[in-house]
Amino acid sequence: MRIDFYNMDSERNVINKHKTLVSSITCDSNLYEMDIFSPILHLEDFDAISQNVNYCVINSVFCYFIESLSHTVSGLCKLTLELDTLETYKNDILNSYAECVESDNVNPFYENSDYKANITNTIKKIEFPYTFDDLGQLMLLVVQ
């Protein structure tokens, strides 16, 4: 598995984050045997750790925030990661479909009650190339 480490200086809730590559390593592991949402990696100590990296991409597919980084015994470091859903699935998100239609019904929860709009739900099943086994389902709602 290949891990690219970055210094990321964007907000967590945006797509197309600005990040600078610091280091890359290749190690023997299988991401599919880990908790894909919040894996914990034990790696040998390496130079990128001393440069305060805060983001990583595994196998050029899975994007993660580095939540914590600590040094353990025997020259190992422990990285606790959290999946960056927006970056990992950004192409699927940007290509998803939503529909907004006008209506005579006024939405009382809308800031401008003079604007008549009714947002209807359009549900589209998006097939992701990766399965989550028995960990559950991933639901993402994006409203712009």
Q: What is the DSSP string of 34-63?
A: S-SSS-EEEEE--GGGGGT--EEEETTTEE
Contact yes or no for 43/77 (Cβ under 8 A): yes
Distance CA 72, CA 45 (A): 9
Asked whether residue 42 is assigned to any structural domain, the reply reads yes
Asked whether residue 108 is assigned to any structural domain, the reply reads no
Asked whether residue 27 is assigned to any structural domain, the reply reads yes
Q: Which pLDDT score, from 0 to 100, does residue 70 have?
A: 83
Asked whether residue 83 is assigned to any structural domain, the reply reads yes
pTM of the model: 0.66
Cα separations (Å) of 1 from 9, 85, 111, 142? 25, 20, 49, 31
Q: Which pLDDT score, from 0 to 100, does residue 144 have?
A: 47
**Whether pLDDT at 17 is above 90:** yes
Task: Give the tens place of pLDDT for each residue, 49-63.
Answer: 666 789 999 989 999
Any idea which residue has 């192409």 for tokens?
91
What residues make up the domain containing 83?
A: 2-88
* H helix or E strand, kind and range, residue 22: strand 19-26
Q: Which pLDDT score, from 0 to 100, does residue 94 have?
A: 83
Any idea which residue has 């197309």 for tokens?
16
Q: Which pLDDT score, from 0 to 100, does residue 55 have?
A: 94
Asked whether residue 28 is assigned to any structural domain, the reply reads yes
pLDDT category at 45 given cuts 50, 70, 90 is low
In this prediction, residues 81-108 reach a mean pLDDT of 77
Asked whether residue 115 is assigned to any structural domain, the reply reads no
Q: For the chain, how many structural domains are there in total?
A: 1
Asked whether residue 64 is assigned to any structural domain, the reply reads yes
